[in-house]
Chains A and B, each alone.
Chain A
Amino acid sequence: MSAPTGIGAAAQPSHFAFDAENLARATTIIARYPAGRQASAVLPLLDIAQRQCGNWLPRAAMDYVAGLLDMAPIRVYEVATFYSMFNLEPVGEWFFQICTTTPCWLRGSDQVVAACERKLGIHVGETSADGKFTLKEVECLGACVNAPIIQVNDDFYEDLDGPSTERLIDELAAGRVPPVGSVIGRQKSAPDGGPQVLKTIPPRYEWTLEAPPAPPAGSDD
């Protein structure tokens, strides 16, 4: 995992406040917790704030959330810095979180990282000069079955390799958003090349007091 970034050189806006829609969302969330326990709402509120700010969390937003929840600002900073999902510096329009944990690494995440770096001309942890792409290396994203994967903003692109990663970047750069999910046409997380089991529907099992019927010959299991 790369070192976290702190309150860096990025231009920090001096002011932040929820827009009307987000304020309504925040109010609903705060109301879920008993009086005096509003601090429990800090994670969802920070998430809302991050979305409003264009996928990053300026200090003013953290201070705003602290004020809204009657918390000391440092307590909010602690939370925001703890979770890697909060970006404390601005990121590009397309925020690439490349999983490099063991299953993805075994399935070739090194080629995915190399393709991104080559294509965008930046290193992990950097943002492209046009401000469109940011690369970040992350730990397991929980989609190991379709490794390797990249999380682009909120969506997963799965079963990537070098060329397909480059195509993904080309599409996004051209302003087109490819369908999310597996890039090799895999159905959900079914086996590559289509289902291998349960191809026929087994006969309906009727419950009786007698012994169950013997399975018909030729079925899968």
Chain B
Amino acid sequence: MPKLTVNGIQVEVPAGATVLQACEAAGFEIPRFCYHERLSIAGNCRMCLVEQEKAPKPIASCAMPAADNMVIRTDTPVVRKARKGVMEFLLINHPLDCPICDQGGECDLQDQAMAYGFDRSRYQENKRAVPDKELGPLVKTSMNRCIHCTRCVRFASEVAGVEELGAVFRGEHMEISTYVEKTLTSELSANIVDLCPVGALTSKPYAFVARPWELRKTESVDVLDAVGSNIRVDSRSGEVLRVLPRVNEFVNEEWISDKTRFAIDGLKRQRLDRPYLRGADGKLAPATWSDALAAVAAKLGSVPGSRIAAIAGDQADCEALTALKDLMTALGSPHLDCRQDGARLDPSAPVGWRFNSTIAGIDSCDALLLVGTNPRWEAPIINARIRKRWLSSRLPVGVIGPQHDLTYKSEYLGAGPQTLADLADGRHPFAETLRSAKAPMIIVGQGALARADGAQVLALARRAAEALGIVRDGWNGFNVLHVAAGRVGGLELGFAPAAGGRDVAGILAGCAAGEIDVVWLQGADEVDTSRLGKAFVIYQGHHGDRGAHRADVILPGAAYTEKNATYVNTEGRAQRGRIAIFPPGDAREDWKILRALSDRLGKRLPYDTLAQVRARMAEISPVFAQIDSVVPAPWAGFGAAGPVDTTPFRSPVSNFHMTCAISRASATMAECTAARQAALDARTGTHA
């Protein structure tokens, strides 16, 4: 723990800290371009120069380890002159195009030039010109502006794990490039836009859309996967313009996936902005709220509760699910399910559906087993965390199920449940790796559970966890990785078949057999709507996707940027999303629609305000009483005993960019899909 003095203030910093970190600890901000806390140290921009006593010249504080008894000055004439010199060099080739640059207003170079810039240029020569690079549909380049900090290069090779960006040529001719023009193949590629301290890398879909000071910033959470990345939604006059990451060390650090960031243009397309009723001609026709609610109330009132069922979609918020569950209970229906992909998660034991080690727990894991999951596509943020752990000291990773390039080395153990059984019985050599580890971890994906023998596979995974010491005193490494943001919340709320109730498969079978008359789809678009038979389908949701096409009544709800709502991520961490803009047209917040309907049915739900709904949620599960934190669940038995078949596991995500109604409606995501397909075709030589 070196002790040093910064501007006369004594600070003590952890061993291995840099002088820059010591300065920050003492409360002095050091300007920088190349240094970034989450990347390796490059030390090439020289903006962080400080003066060290007895050193012959200023030192680059980002690259100098803090040592005992150092005396650092950050605000002397020497330091100011040095930084001004660096700034002048940086500006020699930087174009003066701030008025047409998207980074304007949130540009490190602009900000720091205010402090260290000179008011005119002493440079008479032409500035250098660098051709722009094509990095795909998400990242726009303007390479004249590049100051060669190499943050993007380091991000790509360290965090994203795709070594595709580099610094080619040298000196005056140095360029940041992929050299061979290609789309970055990372799911995290657009984070380089945030990292770029200048306007060299900017967001392509957001190009020339808005200035940062025009935007209203709303702190929220993401629902496009089950990680619950913390985001900031930037909106202007009723339109979501962009999504940026928010720092949360426990969840997403400061990265978000490309889907989280760019699927938002899907929020403007195919929206349900008014209620619809299917008329006698079989066509959906616009209706008023009054007519739509009356039609629903009439139908629900005319059938017994046992012939009504409800299926919750992947992005359903917990407030809506609470209201829907209470309404269904009031109607006497036990047929509820939030597992629309048919995942055989056991609704009785929270420990059996959560990512129990927590995402931050990955940092301390020392052996990992992936079962039926491709985390790179199902949860890129979690995959990046695993890679980070793998980089710090090679983590043994075993894979049962689909084989993908995970950006870290893994050992393929087998394709299906049989290998898992071998592991549980200690017949596989990897079992010893797990058993001898201090903090072993197993991640079970939905690909292992959304199958006929899913409950048996779940039990098998539990047996393996118990046998191999994955669950032990003070450590629970049994993790379920979800892909649906609404899934864990639904399970926590008990949105699962009650006694005598049917699950999704049972509901669909009931529809076919004529035993279910009314199906309520709460944003459920991933069920096979062709199997809903003659049932009367009520669709409440925000997009005109699969569910709405089949519906007899459409109740337009709000998307995640348009409501104050609670989501529980795969860890069991309840987080609050906040309203950034109002829903389009006549669409309303989902729980309010259900509350209004309950009035019509004469079964008024006992809450009138959001606070009252949330109080009800906290009654149902303690998860909702402690927002933003994880309440550990006690170990329990879950799953079902029985034989497993030999079918290989498959990942539930076949196209990373399109997994839900929002991303399917997004033009940007469609472009990404096409770009990825084109790259694939080019590699395999199957292009026309």
Contacts and interface: CB of A to CB of B under 8 A. Distances in A.
Interface residues of A, number: 13
Contact of B178 (A59, A74, A75, A82): A74
Contact of B166 (A4, A6, A77): A77
A74 B164 contact: yes
Contact of B170 (A59, A73, A81): A81
B163 A3 contact: no
Contacts of B168: 6, 77-78, 81-82
Contact of A4 (B167, B173, B178, B180): B173
Interface in B153-173: 157, 163-170, 173
A56 to B, nearest CB: 16
B167 A78 contact: yes
A84 to B, nearest CB: 9
A77 B165 CA distance: 10
A81 B165 CA distance: 14
B179 A7 contact: yes
Contact of A75 (B163, B169, B170, B173): B163
A143 B168 CA distance: 29
A3 B164 contact: no
Nearest to B179: A77
A63 B168 CA distance: 15
A74 B173 contact: no
Interface in B445-467: none
Nearest to A5: B169
A73 B177 CA distance: 12
Q: Say whether chain B's binding surface is mostly helix, strand, loop, or mixed.
A: loop
A86 to B, nearest CB: 11
A142 B266 CA distance: 62
A74 B167 CA distance: 9
B169 A4 contact: yes
A14 B178 CA distance: 19
Contacts of B167: 78
Nearest to B157: A72
A78 B170 CA distance: 9
Interface in A45-93: 59, 72-75, 77-78, 81-82
A72 B163 CA distance: 6
Contacts of A59: 180
A46 to B, nearest CB: 14
B189 to A, nearest CB: 14
B169 A74 contact: no
B259 to A, nearest CB: 25
Given A7-B180, A81-B179, A74 B170 contact: no
A58 to B, nearest CB: 12
Nearest to A84: B170
Contacts of A6: 168-169, 179
Contacts of B178: 74
Contacts, number: 36
Chain B CB within 10 Å, residue with most, of A7, A59, A81, A82:
A81
Given A7-B179, A74-B178, A74-B179, A81 B164 contact: no
A59 B179 CA distance: 10
Contacts of B170: 81-82
A210 to B, nearest CB: 49
A3 to B, nearest CB: 6
A199 B25 CA distance: 71
A7 B181 CA distance: 10
Contacts of A72: 157, 163-164
A7 B167 CA distance: 14
A196 to B, nearest CB: 40
B180 A78 contact: no
B169 A81 contact: yes
A125 to B, nearest CB: 14
A78 B173 contact: no
Interface string A1-34: 0011011000000000000000000000000000
Interface string A117-129: 0000000000000
Contacts of A4: 169, 173
A75 B166 contact: yes
A81 to B, nearest CB: 4
A73 B167 CA distance: 12
Nearest to A80: B168
A4 B170 CA distance: 9
A7 B170 CA distance: 15
A73 B165 CA distance: 10
Interface string B164-204: 11111110010000111000000000000000000000000
Contacts of A82: 168-170
B127 to A, nearest CB: 14
Nearest to A3: B173
A200 B178 CA distance: 63
Contacts of B164: 72, 74
Nearest to B162: A72
B156 to A, nearest CB: 9
B133 to A, nearest CB: 11
Nearest to A77: B179
A14 to B, nearest CB: 11
Contacts of B163: 72, 74-75
A134 to B, nearest CB: 19
6 contacts: A3-B173, A4-B169, A4-B173, A74-B164, A74-B165, A77-B179
Given A4-B169, A75-B166, A82-B170, 14 more contacts: A4-B173, A7-B179, A59-B180, A72-B157, A72-B163, A73-B179, A74-B163, A74-B164, A75-B163, A77-B166, A77-B179, A78-B166, A81-B179, A82-B168
Interface of B: 157, 163-170, 173, 178-180
List the 5 closest pairs (A to B, CB-CB), nearest first.
A72-B163, A74-B166, A81-B168, A77-B179, A78-B166
